[in-house]
Structure 1
Amino acid sequence: MTGGMTRDGRRRPPEFAVLEADRALLNRASTAERVADILRDRITEGHFPPGARLSEESIGGALKVSRNTLREAFRLLTHERLLVHELNRGVFVRVVTVADLDDIYRVRTLVECAAVRNLGEPPYDVAALEAAVFAGEQAGLERSWRDMGTANLRFHQALVALVGSPRTDELMRGVLAELRLVFHVMDDPRRFHAPYLTRNRQIVEALQAGDPVEAETLLRAYLEDSRAQLSGAYAQRMSEG
């Protein structure tokens, strides 16, 4: 897929072609919040790495939205700590700090474990969880590590979505988008994602068996191990950078 051309005849980078495909999601009633949703999703999927400058011209042209709408979307995502505005330089995807990473996992543990603990009586609709696990396994077979990371994030988003709380869903979308920025920095994403596919499936199996207590136990251990592994490696990568 090519990136198309800008208004002045320059070739648009490939990542903006993804946004051109997103244009169909917008309509005349589109708002800055909807644009922010699209950009957040693309950050979560790994299309825009930390430190990338977001061009108003390229993104506005791809989505066919006004500069004012786009700037409001940027403002919303800056408030969510996904973007930063640098005076006289523009808007950039934020680089997450080591302290940010530890806090992300603190929030994940609080929200995800509480979500599983409060699922109520079984049976639980785990179709979205199963789909995310399958997508991760397929990505592994295809050696598509970015897609494997996306599938892993989608698994945890679907896990929290079982509670049926739009506010919690919104919180998790932002938290997981921040986590994707961490994944971008790691030089061996397979090592961080592949071992957790099996653990994701174990959580699904516990929920299918109607055992949320076991699912929470598995999830808490998963998050503790993931934080310890990722935090140490991320700190080393940031010091090298």
Structure 2
Amino acid sequence: MSEPSSSDAYEETRPFRVRSSTAEWAAAILRQRVTQGGLLPGSRLVEDELTAELEVSRNTLREAFRLLGHERLLEHKLNRGVYVRVLSPADVADIYRVRRMIEGSAVRRPDQDPIALTALRDAVADAERAAAASRWLDVGTADLRYHQIIASLNGSQRVNAMMAQLLAELRLVFHTMDPRALHAPFLPRNRELLTLLESGRTAEAEDLLATYLDEAERLLLAAYAQARTS
């Protein structure tokens, strides 16, 4: 059996049932909806609707909920049901702590995958087209895909899986801010980081990424602070 290619890290296709158990497949569908902005923090998941839509049993859906609970995307509230998690400032700080480790190690590698670089170009172009059309939710989705590809430069399937879960959490954090205010400042930096990676200037890429992540974290934490006082 052949090993999965590095491009598996940034495929956006609907998950296939044949690759996993039915519960894992259902969890992958729901995780994808979180990552694409379709499930909002604090929203309740209705079992009857989802079992009918996904054509799975109630027990299978509950197992999918359990899996996503372990990933910190969902939470069960006693006598109330299952909800999409609302993340805290401490969650934001922890997400960015892990991102620095994963993405920092990725950009400093001297042997960047040309297939991944092509995928990065596509993600940047998709984000720029979406921004030009004022489709800021789509800009956020393209941005998450961009950073999933960055993580894939580590060459580890385990890191890819960890990053996918982390970015699903990050999408929940994104909802605390106006999407244009959040994403517009980072669009040119994504292209600049790509240019540095393409030219092999890894030290500069690492410095740019560190500044990028610091500023993004500050923006999001400021949005949380403002929400608490308003």
- TM-score normalised to structure 1 length: 0.85
Q: What do the CA deviations read for 1:43-90 (whole angstroms, capped 9, x no partner)? A: 010000000001111111111111111111100110111000001111
Task: Work out the CA distance in 1 between the residues paired with 2:131 and 2:112.
Answer: 31
Displacement of 1:185 in angstroms is: 2.3
Residue 119 of structure 2 is matched in structure 1 by 128
Task: State the Cα distance separating 1:131 from its structure 2 match.
Answer: 1.1
Q: How much does 1:31 deviate? A: 2.3
Q: Which runs of 5+ in 2 are unaligned?
A: 1-12
- Between the aligned residues of both structures, percent identity stands at 51
Q: CA RMSD in A?
A: 1.9
Q: How many residues end up aligned between the 2 structures?
A: 217
Shift of 1:238: 3.7
Determine which of 44, 52, 76 is the counterpart of 1:53. 44
Q: How does 1:84-233 map to 2 (within 5 A)?
A: 84-117=75-108, 119-122=109-112, 124-125=114-115, 126-186=117-177, 188-233=178-223
Higher relative contact order (Cα pairs below 8 Å, separated by 6+ residues):
2
Q: Indicate how the Cα distance of structure 1 residues 58 and 195 shifts in structure 2: closer, same or farther if over 3 A, else same.
A: same
Partner deviation per Cα, 1:117-170 (whole Å, 9 max, x = no partner): 2x2435643011111111111111111111111111111001111222111011
1:7 alignment partner in structure 2: none
How far the C-alpha of 1:172 sits from its partner, in A, is 0.7
Gaps of 5+ in 1: 1-20
Which amino acid in 2 is paired with 1:101? Answer: V
TM-score by length of 2: 0.88
Letter in 1 for 2:63: E
In 2: Cα distance, 1:28 partner to 1:154 partner: 21
Q: Which residue of 1 aligns with 2:225?
A: 235
Change (3 A) 1:229 1:90: same
Does the 8 A contact of 2:45 with 2:83 survive in 1? Answer: yes
Q: Which of 71, 77, 82 is equivalent to 1:80?
A: 71
* Cα distance between partner residues in 2 of 1:98 and 1:223: 15
Q: Which amino acid aligns with 1:144?
A: R
